[in-house]
Amino acid sequence: MNEEDKKNIIQDLNLRIGSDINDLSNASEIENQLVVRRDQLQSSLNLANNLVPTKLSSALKKAEKNSTQINNLKNKSVTLKSRIESFLEKTEPLRDGLNKRFTAINKLEQTLIYLKSFEKIDDISRQMKQCNDDEQLVLCYGELKELCNQYKDGHRGVYVREYTHYWHNILKDKLTKHYEDVLKLLKWPITTADNSPPPKEVLVKFSNLTRYLFLIEEPEGLHTNSISELAEEQDPCLPVKILLRPLKKRFTFHFTGSRQTARIDRPEWFLTQTLAWIKDHQGFIKNNVQPVVDKLQLKNVKTVDEFNAGLISLAAERLHTVLGLYHTQRKKGELVDVDAAFAHAVDETLGFHREFVTVTGKDGNNVLSVLTKAETFVRWLAVEKKYALAKMDETLDNDQWCEPVASGVTSAVGTVLWVPRGADWFITLLKTIEDRYAVLPQPGHRLQFLEMQLELVEEWRVRLTQLLSAAAESLGVDSLLATDAAPLALTAVVNAAHHTRTVLLQWAHSLHYLQLHYYRRQFQHFTQQQHREESIKSSSSSEDDDINANGLRLSSYVFSEGESDEAMSLKEVEERAKTLALNAVSRRNSLVTDISKFELVAPLANLSVTEPLWNPAVDGSASGAEEAGVFSEAPTLLAHLRDAGLAAIIDHILFEFRASLRDYKKQKWHAWMMVEEMALSVSASLCRPLSALLARVAAAHQRLAPPLARRMRAALAHHVDQYIFEEVVLQNWFNTGGTVQFTHDVKRNLVPAFTLPYKVSSQMIQLPRLLESCKLLNMDYDDARRLRASLSKQPNLAVENLSTHGIRHVQPNEALQILSQRTDLNESSSPSSVMELF
């Protein structure tokens, strides 16, 4: 018994017994039924049963009868086979003779059909010679085309193709003449000055002739497509060719040769005229020619696109000639500034492409293919870089580059101006270059432009570094308070580096630069794979064992991000880069949507629009390089330049502050007179240094970008905290009056000086060491004695004991020294004797 039968029996028993295992009332009944069934089966198999012999005898009789019938059928089949074989033997000579006769007859019939086909071709040709009706001629020519499609091989195929080609030329010349006569009545080419609609009968005749011209098109394979070097599409259909003829004549007449309109330094003339022709004629083509195509059900014919492509090919060929003439004119010296003329031609070409896309809604790459030819493209890159560097030098040589302006068109109204004019110009320059090369269809060309952008960013950084060094060397005592160019140049360099870096990081997450980033990575994998395959092919000729330790062929190259190990083509590389870029933008948009659900605190609203709302990764780290994307290490280098400029400003402010703090450090804090708290004021020796510090910080804060100003304040607070702590707190004894005065100086003067204009909940506490020093100096007598005793007797628990009092920035030995320098805790000792202990 198989498993399926067992499962069926078990399932049947479960259904009959029920779900309650304790209820076995049905078990006896099931047992009885099974016993009865068993007895019936045994009785049916028992030979001694009375019913068995009767059934067996009837079954045996039926079996014998069937066997007899089978034997009879076998005998009849053998007899029939022998008769058939003898009949075939007798009739074999007759059959062979008949087959030969039928074969001969079939050959004669095929020959007759073959000769009649020639007769039919001649008859159609004879009818066409005697016919003068265009409709009938076109119908006859249609029959020839059908025969041409039917007979493709042998002499008959050549014969009918020659006849078809012959009559195609005749009909084309005849219908073309009629078509040109109708075009004259339509006043073709159309001009914007003449807006009168053509007569209806002329349009009907034009439509009929257009239909005839489509019908007499030669079959595929009968004619050769002449594709020009600059054209990417096949030749247009016959009606469009005829429609383009007068425009080609006008184009050749006006924009070639020695006419004034053919000046090579004015490419906008023929580009503008080409675009005007497209605007004037594409409506007529769409309304009067394309409907004929639709009626004829010619699915692959787009007359408007073919007409536009024909005009663009004229402009592309002329542009290619003009750009080539620039190179020869450089040698002849006929043009004053060849590079300026070349740049002008490129701008006009890109403008023509953008306007063409706007007018037609489709992208035509014929003109762009002229710019991407090897020699022209290399020159384009060189001219772009040349003018960019020249403009960069011109801008930075002008003192007005430091002046703050709004950060481009995206600046919010009322935003504090801090972006230098030169930085805003440089970003505009990069954006302009991007707009020019973003329309190029090949990502490889866009990558080359990106490399040029990176070179410009590096040149910009080098020039800013030079300006930073010159500005730092020219700093004087009151430079930050003055209005001359030196301090303005210093802060302008810092702001320029910060603004450039911020914009580059923002651009790195745009779709354009993400696609280039992923394409460059995928292309690097692609080239590595090609080199690997070439090396394996070269080595396989001399070595047969190309299997590595894991048993895998060296030719199986696996990409780093889960790419398949199959070889990828350049087209697949480009498509994969697009997919990865779109996925990255989608992920970023989803993150921005999630962030927008949370309520933004007030400080974020005060940020400049050019500052990202997230903190970039640490400069120089792997995550920072990934954050920079396609710009690689450029943001990191700009960050180093920005930090160097901030460090120069901070060092300058600290130098003057430390120099003017000598009197404050030498005050006799151990013998200070006790003054009521309401009558306290800032120490006289601290007033001048602090006011000078605040004036310089305010001046720098006003000129720097908001995030840089906050960083400067935080850094200054750290250095001032460290300096006063080491030079004043740790070097002096303090009595009660000195403690009160120092605490007032710190909490009421120094701390507010370094507090940001607005409060941030996560803002770091400024001057932590000075505040904790004030806490130690103002601690109750008993608590101070106990803390000092624990610090001296239990040094291993010093950090824990200080933490319980909220002191985390002052080291235990420093805290012990501060407590020991309180005069109230050392009344029996003189200041000089206690200082000897340290």
pLDDT confidence of residue 680? 81
| Integer CA distances (angstroms), 244 to 152, 185, 749, in order | 33, 16, 84
| Integer CA distances (angstroms), 745 to 189, 461, 511, 727, in order | 89, 42, 54, 15
Return all residues near 301 (Cβ < 8 A) that are at least 6 apart. 214, 237, 293
Return all residues near 67 (Cβ < 8 A) that are at least 6 apart. none
Residue 450, pLDDT above cutoff 90 = yes
Of residues 251, 241, 258, the one with CA closest to residue 274: 251
Distance between CA atoms of residues 464 and 645, nearest Å: 10
Assign 110 a pLDDT band (cuts: 50, 70, 90).
confident
Question: Which of 43-47, 252-256, 474-478, 662-666 is least confident?
Answer: 43-47
| Tens-place pLDDT, residues 367-421 | 899 999 999 999 999 999 999 999 999 999 988 898 888 654 444 334 558 899 9
Q: Please give the backbone phi and psi of residue 353, each rounded to the nearest 5 degrees, phi first.
A: -65, -45
pTM score: 0.74
pLDDT confidence of residue 285? 93
Residue 502, pLDDT above cutoff 90 = yes
| Tens-place pLDDT, residues 205-257 | 999 999 999 999 877 655 544 434 444 456 889 999 999 999 999 999 999 88
What mean pLDDT is predicted for residues 175-192? 90
Single-letter amino acid, residue 19: S
What mean pLDDT is predicted for residues 529-544? 57
Q: Please give the backbone phi and psi of residue 472, each rounded to the nearest 5 degrees, phi first.
A: -65, -40
Residue 589, pLDDT above cutoff 70 = no
* Radius of gyration of the CA atoms of the chain, in A: 48
| Tens-place pLDDT, residues 692-718 | 998 889 888 888 998 999 999 999 999
Residue 67, pLDDT above cutoff 60 = yes
pLDDT confidence of residue 8? 83
| Tens-place pLDDT, residues 643-660 | 999 999 999 999 989 998
Residue 827, pLDDT above cutoff 70 = no
Burial class (CB in 10 A: 0-12, 13-18, 19+), 107: exposed
pLDDT confidence of residue 2? 78
